[in-house]
Amino acid sequence: MATRDNAAVTSRKTFSRRGAGSAAAASPARRSAGRWKNGRANRTAAGKAALRRRHGSRRGRSGRLGRRGARAAAWRRYRQAAGYAGSGLGPGAMAGTDGAGYAGAASRLSGSGGRQGRATKALSPGPAAFSPPLLPAPGPASLDSAAPDASGAAWSTAEAERVRAAAFEAGYREGLFEGGEAKLGRLIPRYMLLPEIRVDDVIAAGFPAVAGQLYPMLTPAEVFATAEGALRENRPLSIVRLGDGELLTLAHGTVISTEEALRWGAFLPYAGVHLPNPAAREALAAAIRAADIIGVPESRHPSYQGLLFPVLRHYGIDYRSLRLTTSTVNYELNTGGYLTRLVHGRRVLLIGNQAEALAGYLGQRGVQVVGWLAPVQGVADVPRVMMRFREVPDFDLALVAAGVAAVMICTRISGELGKVALDTGHLADKLIKGEAAWPQLGEVHNSANGV
């Protein structure tokens, strides 16, 4: 049985009372046992301070954190105060400290036992009170002392942007050459030069040879005159527009692959079409055949006229049999004041997801809006929308803003209800957001519009 003099069971309090002299005279076995029990053999003032730095004060050990928790918390604070490598923190980075931050707190920890114990307690909050450090906002003064990884990341981002811009410029320059001067160069015989003549000069010189094949489109003034006549005489009329969304829908699986259409048309779900959709494609082709006036893009970009004429040729539609106008006719009717004149004194029906907001906008400007239909959930929703016409009062003019589905809705309003329908597209959004102005009737003059 262990006795009071047994080193293995000597209490810490008794061992501490013996002081430095007793500890120095202790036997090697006793020093070994004391080292195992207390972690330190030397109980001098310096030894006590070192012990407290490792384990925390006696009061701290009995707190909520416990000995191991206090030791771990003190070590974390020391690492943060010293700006330990990889931490990304410097002096003063922790919230709730004085101007010196944890650097000042760490210096206080190396003082006398009493001050050190109080500082340890002050810097040892409970687990619930501990919050992660707040990183300071970078400023000009801290740029030189920024962490290497942060500066490296910033440099890498800037360098990547520079490389991207350089690659784009090089690709654009090469593409411009291949699409112009390189084509002209392939027409020049070997060992011959065409000095001081650019491809633009050749195009300008040769254009008169093909000018006879130009096909005229209706101007906005002519579209207005046609619509005004139809409204006055109660004749049906549909004015639709083909943009890249409609053309990609028509082209997928016909003149280009569905995969290519998906790459070019990531926006198509927003326009109400999910590819592949052969049913929507065929319904859209039928709507084009039935439309009275069709707005087409003037751009010769591959997504516009690059698809338009191949698509028409695929479906056996002769463009010379169509009444064409520009696909931006909706905007030009508004800016020219034609739309203001069309709706004046007429009962207007609005169709589309923004119909209710547009009704409020137009109502404040004296337009007689008799109702609206919303929402229109893509091309698959067209039959349901047409069924709802039984619920709306009689109208004269329908303004439709419903993506690709607007082409089908306009032609069905004209063919089934005998009304005038205009595809207004994004003009509705621009009016609501204030990005486009609605000309008042008093500001519209016939002489200025050329009618």
pLDDT at 157: 84
pLDDT at 203: 93
pLDDT at 162: 87
Element (H, E) at 191: none
Cβ neighbours of residue 158 closer than 8 Å, sequence gap 6 or more? none
pLDDT at 69: 64
pLDDT at 20: 44
Distance CA 419, CA 410 (A): 9
pTM of the model: 0.64
**Tokens representing residue 298 in the block:** 């003037």
pLDDT at 114: 42
Q: Of 189, 222, 219, 187, give the one whose Cα is nearest residue 203.
A: 187
Q: Which residue has the tokens 């970009």?
A: 301
Q: Which residues of the chain have pLDDT under 50?
A: 1-34, 36-37, 39-42, 57-65, 84-148, 447-451
Q: Distances in Å between the alpha carbon of 29 and those of 32, 36, 250, 280, 312?
A: 5, 11, 94, 93, 102
pLDDT at 54: 56
All structural domains of the chain with their residue ranges: 7-129, 162-206, 219-451
**Tokens representing residue 71 in the block:** 């030791």
pLDDT at 153: 60
Q: Of 433, 237, 418, give the one whose Cα is nearest residue 342.
A: 237
Cβ neighbours of residue 333 closer than 8 Å, sequence gap 6 or more? 220, 223, 224, 339, 342, 422
Q: Of 420, 90, 375, give the one whose Cα is nearest residue 410.
A: 420
Contact 242, 297 (CB under 8 A): yes
